Amino acid sequence: MVARAIWKGELKLGSTKIPVKLYSGVVDRTVRFHILDDKHLMRVKQHMVSPDSGEEVAKEEIQKGYEIEPGKFVVVTDEELEELEPKPSREIEIAEFVPPEAISQQWYERPYYLGPDGEAKNYFALVDALKKRNREGIAHWVMRNKAYVGALRAEGDYLMLVTLRNAEEVISAKDLPRPAGRTPTQKELNMAKQLVELLEEAEFNAKDYKDEYRKRVMEFIEKKARGKAPRLQAVKSKRKVSALDSVLEKSLRTLRKEKRAA
């Protein structure tokens, strides 16, 4: 798959500006279905309908409203919303640099690659500096009428810009209910420690983690398209084991067997 730039801008660090191109770091592979009528298998259209009369509401008669209390709305126009949009800009301004551990994983949202646009000397100098200093830049920019905050990091020989969630979207662990239930026994603690130790040497391979549901759906669709009627087999659910020590002992036995076989 050839990556295509979706946006262009400039990285701004003080008085230095580095021309860059923005590329998506992920691609959506969700299986999507069209809504068809049962008789002709033609796509059906969705319409806005009044819940009282059942009649279709014309597009020009539709308004946007924010519900401030049940049944009470503040109506806003497209023109009013446009006035509130951030000022367009092509600058990605770096406000500060922080250690990677200063940003909790739950803040990260969507990754993008930043590639050089034209002269790349300053671009790769910044990549090298971020690697050596082990820092991430806090970036601010506006793209497609929306203001973003992101983390700028070195990823291999390139820059990666990961959008960050806003503070009101992130839930602190302090807000979670306190754990309930009994305290683990020393035996359970020791087995949990052994389980972690057995898995410490395992290497992460991204290719091992795939969307198995999507794979099954696409295989089923391909077989149906060829005129076959494949038999469907329900995915077996794992049997629940109530005792924690039984779960840990079983996991340890399985891992030790796999280690010996390897």
The model's pLDDT over 33-78, given as tens digits with 9 standing for 90+, comes to 999 999 899 999 888 999 999 999 998 999 999 999 999 999 999 9
Residue 15 forms part of a structural domain: yes
Q: Residue 4 — φ and ψ, nearest 5°? A: -120, 135
Residues 140 and 202 in one domain: no
Residue 118 forms part of a structural domain: yes
pLDDT for the residue numbered 238: 56
For residue range 19-34, list pLDDT tens digits in order: 999 999 999 999 999 9
Structure pTM? 0.77
Q: Residue 92 — φ and ψ, nearest 5°? A: -105, 100
Residues 136 and 245 in one domain: no
Which domain covers residue 143, as residue numbers?
7-27+85-169
The tens-digit pLDDT sequence of the chain (262 residues) is 678 999 999 999 999 999 999 999 999 999 999 999 998 999 998 889 999 999 999 989 999 999 999 999 999 999 999 999 999 999 999 999 999 999 999 999 999 999 999 989 999 999 999 999 999 999 999 999 999 999 999 999 999 999 999 999 999 888 888 888 888 889 888 888 887 887 776 677 778 888 888 988 888 888 888 887 777 766 666 555 456 667 667 776 776 777 676 6
pLDDT for the residue numbered 241: 47
pLDDT for the residue numbered 83: 95
Residues with Cβ within 8 Å of residue 4, at least 6 apart in sequence: 23
> In what helix (H) or strand (E) does residue 250 lie, and over which residues does it extend?
helix 244-261
Alpha-carbon distances, residue 55 vs 36, 50, 227 (angstroms):
21, 6, 41
87-120 exposure pattern, b = at least 16 Cβ within 10 A, e = fewer: eeeeebbbeebeeeeebeeebeeebbbbebbeee
Residues 116 and 236 in one domain: no
Residues 15 and 128 in one domain: yes
pLDDT for the residue numbered 122: 95
Indicate the number of domains in the chain.
Answer: 2
Q: Is 34 helix (H, G, I), strand (E, B) or coil?
A: coil
Residue 234 forms part of a structural domain: yes
Cα(122)–Cα(125) distance, integer angstroms: 5
